[in-house]
Structure 1
Amino acid sequence: MKKILTALAITLVLTGCKTSPTGRTQITLYSEQKMDEMGVASFAQMKEQQAIEADKAINSYVRCIADNLIAQLPTEYANQQWEVVVFEDDSANAFALPGGKIGVHTGLLEVAKNQHQLAAVMGHEVGHVIAQHANERVSQNSLLQFGLQASNVALQMGDIQYRDAIMQGLGVGAQFGVALPFSRSHESEADIIGLELMAKAGFEPQGSVELWQNMAAVSGERPPEFMSTHPAPQSRIANLKNGMISANELKQLAWQAGYKPQCK
């Protein structure tokens, strides 16, 4: 039984191996079509459950930033029909989903003070989509559940004492040793993808650093970074600063090509 489970797990991993835009090896077990369907369904549910901002000026401003970013995406994504919705929500948040969906909360407009800072957040969220992070997270969860179930079967077959305690320990180990660091790696990768994307669109890359400085100023106490799904603001700022020289070069090339957004 253990040999069969191991062989099945190896087959799943090998068939799902891909490379992210930054060169990181990733496992995506689900088709892009399936992920798009999930994203579209989730977005439709959100629109039913949350109030939508009706102010035309706000919607035009957010759409302007989105359009400039989308124009710089890889062709398969740039050619999608992207839907951009501003939700009435006080949280400083935004998100993007497979299937060409972008949501921005009105609370984010209080923290992202200009088009460059908002482009940093939106670029980051779109970065999650083009790096297929949602697929990776769903796949990771499936493999974790498979692994825990396989461990449970092995422990039952071996009649090992304290099986429940061991399984509980395995669950905690999976959470802090795999799931959370994996999510932080996604966030850091999306930061870099978003930084490059906003620069290619002609936005000021420095806006990404300013945005996270603003976020740090309004954030309350955070859990230790090793227990958080997101890197600490200071870590993100350092990561972004490391890519700033390259990003500014991309911005200059964008300006020379006539890409200089004026979203207001």
Structure 2
Amino acid sequence: MKKVILSASAALLLIVACSTNPFTGKKDLNFVSNNQIFPTAFAQYDQFLKENKVIKGTSQAQMVTSVGQKIKAAAEKYLNANGYQGYLDGYQWEYNLVDSKDVNAWCMPGGKIVVYTGILPITKDEAGLATVMGHEVAHALVNHGAQRMSATTLQELGAAGVGVATSGQSATAQQLYQQAYGVTTQYAGILPFSRKHENEADEIGLILMAIAGYNPDKAIEFWQRMSANSGGSAPPEFLSTHPSDATRISNITAQIPNAKAQAAKFGVKF
């Protein structure tokens, strides 16, 4: 009976827990609403700013704000033109440059963006920065954080199902089954799921930067610089949440014509 209940619960979640991706038109797994995730994200963002050195008033800080505002405006244009008026309700956009040697940037759910100073030597200019910020904003726009939370919940539900199904076996056998389930779902499910998100964020980010007026061809140059900076230290692609540099550059090259076509609809041509 427990197995039936768990299976029915998982099936119900898969049926009802879908949201439409406004950029692809496809259904995505997501049963965590913005009302649930935004307040926590905003609080964590504010706490992060209190605990780190935020740079204000410099030309670099102003560039982060300027590029961020242009990416936000591009997102609004795209969403409104494609029938998603009100999609950004509840977003509280904020752009901050933080003093850190880390080569990184991120956008929390709800539009809270941080760029680390450590990535600026690699972005080099506004177009490079727009590549990064467009990518990070894309993660937030299509709720990748909520999708990962949803996928983890399903993984945990599946683990509970394995526990029920093997409850009559020895403790050693139960442990082996759980380990096999964990490895299988991690490498066949969670990691490819994350790599899909990265590719999707690249594609949407190109569209946003192009609509914002930045030539998406510049994205290739940025990722080439990122690849050179990493020095080949990345793990094998199948063990990573991110695609390899070569895969990413190849995918972006194929995605650029569509980004330019989308920008042309708003009168932006390259």
- State the TM-score, normalizing by the size of structure 2: 0.89
Deviations 1:21-64 (CA, angstroms, capped at 9, x unpaired): 32443211111111111211221221122221234322111111
CA pair 161-97 structure 1, distance change in 2 beyond 3 A: closer
1:92 Cα deviation after fit: 1.6
Listed as ranges, the matches of 1:111-260 within 5 Å are: 111-157=122-168, 162-220=173-231, 221-252=233-264, 254=266, 256=267
Q: Tell me the residue number matched to 1:100.
A: 111
1:123 Cα deviation after fit: 0.3
What is the rounded CA distance, in whole Å, between the counterparts of 1:89 and 1:22 in structure 2? Answer: 35
1:15 Cα deviation after fit: 1.3
What is the rounded CA distance, in whole Å, between the counterparts of 1:78 and 1:61 in structure 2? Answer: 25
1:71 is paired with a residue of what secondary structure? helix
Q: Tell me the residue number matched to 1:3.
A: 4
Per mean C-alpha deviation after superposition, the further-off stretch among 36-45 and 204-213 is 36-45
Deviations 1:88-110 (CA, angstroms, capped at 9, x unpaired): 11112111111221111111111
The alignment of Structure 1 onto Structure 2 pairs a total of residues equal to 258
Per mean C-alpha deviation after superposition, the further-off stretch among 224-233 and 152-161 is 152-161
What is the identity, as a one-letter code, of the residue corresponding to 1:203? Y
What is the identity, as a one-letter code, of the residue corresponding to 2:13? L
1:161 Cα deviation after fit: 6.2
Q: Tell me the residue number matched to 2:82.
A: none
% identical equivalent positions: 34
Q: Any conservation in 1 of the 2:90–2:110 contact (CA below 8 Å)?
A: no
What is the identity, as a one-letter code, of the residue corresponding to 1:217? A
1:159 Cα deviation after fit: 5.7
2:203 is paired with a residue of what secondary structure? helix
What is the rounded CA distance, in whole Å, between the counterparts of 2:46 and 2:190 in structure 1? Answer: 27
Q: Any conservation in 2 of the 1:70–1:78 contact (CA below 8 Å)?
A: no
What is the aligned-residue RMSD (CA, Å)?
2.0
Runs of 4+ displaced beyond 6 Å: none
Gaps of 5+ in 1: none
